[in-house]
Amino acid sequence: MSTCERCGVEFHCAMADAPAGQKPTGAPGETPCWCTFLPLAIPVPGADAVGCWCPACLRAHIASLEKPT
């Protein structure tokens, strides 16, 4: 399990939680991770990358980016 770096809740991150030697999966037997189906919103990976966020935090962040200013 992964821990959300924003709120601290535990969740499944296929990119981080795949067993050693196994390609990451979004669910048993499936790939890619659930987060790849959402709009790009935070830098991963790279120097400016944030850690994994749970589905609720990532969706809330995306919603805040989509609101008109």
Contact indicator for 33, 14 with CB cutoff of 8 Å: yes
- pTM (global) more than 0.75: no
CA–CA distance, 2 with 19 (Å, rounded to integer): 13
DSSP string, 33-49: -GGGGSPP-S--SSTT-
**What is the pLDDT at residue 56?**
93
Q: Which domain holds residue 26?
A: 2-66
Nearest to 41, CA basis, from 61, 26, 69? 61
The pLDDT tens digits along the chain (69 residues) read 889 989 999 988 877 776 666 655 555 555 667 888 888 887 665 555 567 889 999 999 889 887 665
**What is the pLDDT at residue 33?**
78
**What is the pLDDT at residue 19?**
66
Per the structure, the count of domains in the chain is 1
